[in-house]
Structure 1
């Protein structure tokens, strides 16, 4: 199974058998996780939605393509209509991520961090097309160059792709250099049923066995201990069976500083 997954779906610079044990993390709202537990499903988002947080997301496909000497504009939006993704990170702990996602999910119970491995995540989804790749962080000038190179040779790229979807998926893993601290990994799926809808849905949902995939839940290091214990009890009562902890990012253990 792992050999098949590696061959078909993994797109990293260096791939070996140990990559399946690599831990990855995802920040989601507490309310969304409760929904995962209740409905046993995971949410994937269409790339067009990402631009609400970064206008350069999906920009390779959202800006109409125009060939030199030809005034006619060609929209590339259709190329991403059937793609949906989840964003994860390789960063085990990050003050920046806690601040960003707690602000974003303030009205949804705050942010929590879930942990799994690359192997568990891939094995949780059964799909004809999946792409798991590390995000490439580009300078603004490199980003623009990538757009020009891609659009200039769009026909050639699509012929070489032969309908596999990889050409588009690879370019959905481009972000600007200032975002490099995210150390992001993206799981991308295709859904042609969603593509046929008008308008296309912003999200799709896939079966997701939380207790088989999520190894650990981590709560915000700033959360009041009483609130943490209360929410922990709720998740256990709702059926979560694995580890639940509170981040110790801001905890100082004086014993660590005793001279030996």
Structure 2
């Protein structure tokens, strides 16, 4: 639930904000980020797990007054997010998110605080209810069924601050628990006073992010041979990346010496 003294935290306490956090970008995508100092949050329909936008895209509100069911699908257009992980090294994550060529992975490290502070800089102080960062709560499908059966629209929309919807966007099936995910979330609204149109378009919300101010290091795929690593390192440096760049040591073989008896 949201912390009382820092707005927008979901399943996180304030002392967790300085935890390191990681994301693997495709090589070409990361080079664009460096060149433009711009990152993007994406619509839930673009997330990997089709269950993740279930609460908006496939949920209806039962209205006893009219006897009809009102779809929440239109509300899904208001939400954008980006997935990060608290896990520093994972064989599964490299294999899933780092394939060959332009899709080769580039992992970056930062902290939850740096990411969230940078996202909130998108808007002035009167917008705090639109920005969230949440640790994913992993549940079984049976738990999801029980949760949704016990919810009302009033429960989710209480206070009009978006927190209830953000909490639902921080639920995920336990088959993805290996991701150990933290999610940046933005509620995109057309605000009348002061006038501010929606920031997102085409399922993407772009926003300023200086990688040299927010990120701390770049780590390349542990499966790279030395020649390919050096070539990728040079490619990134030529693209303007001034961050420290190293190869993951995940597959480094340790050397042991044991006694003869």
Question: In structure 2, what is the equivalent of residue 163 of structure 1?
Answer: 160
Q: What residue in structure 1 maps to residue 57 of structure 2?
A: 62
List aligned pairs for 1:173-212, cutoff 5 A: 173-192=170-189, 201-212=202-213
Aligned match of 2:135:
134
Structure 1, unaligned stretches of length 5 or more?
A: none
With normalisation by structure 2, the TM-score equals 0.84
Match of 1:37 among 34, 39, 51: 34
Match of 2:153 in 1: 154
SS at match of 1:229: helix
Is the counterpart of residue 109 in structure 1 residue 103 in structure 2?
A: yes
1:214 matched residue in structure 2: 215
- Does residue 246 (structure 1) correspond to residue 241 (structure 2)? The answer is no
C-alpha RMSD of matched pairs (Å)? 2.6
Contact map agreement 2:10 2:166 (CA 8 A) in 1 = no
1:27 aligned to which of 20, 24, 28: 24
Change (3 A) 1:178 1:114: same
Deviation of 1:239 (Å): 2.1
Rounded to whole Å, the distance in 1 between the matches of 2:27 and 2:190 is: 29
Greater fraction strand: 2
In structure 1, which of residues 71, 96, 100 is the aligned counterpart of residue 96 of structure 2?
Answer: 100
Distance in 2, matches of 1:6 and 1:41, equals 29
Identify the residue that residue 89 of structure 1 maps to in structure 2. 85
Cα-to-partner distance string for 1:144-175 (whole Å, 9 max, x where unaligned): 1222223xx113432x2x22111111100110
Contact 2:139–2:173 (CA under 8 A) maintained in structure 1: yes
- Structure 1 stretches of 4+ with a deviation exceeding 4 A read 68-71, 193-197
- The aligned counterpart of 2:118 is 124
The answer as to whether partners of 1:64 and 1:73 remain within 8 angstroms in 2 is: no
Aligned equivalents of 1:9 and 1:57: distance in 2?
Answer: 19
After superposition, the Cα gap between the structure-2 partners of 1:147 and 1:156, relative to the gap in structure 1 and judged at 3 Å, is closer
Residues 155 and 164, structure 2, Cα contact 8 Å, conserved in 1: no
After TM superposition, give the deviation of residue 224 of structure 1 in Å.
2.4
Q: Are the counterparts in 1 of residues 156 and 165 from structure 2 also a CA contact under 8 Å?
A: no
Aligned to 1:8: 7
Contact 1:81–1:200 at 8 Å: present in 2 too? no
- Larger helix proportion, structure 1 or 2? 1
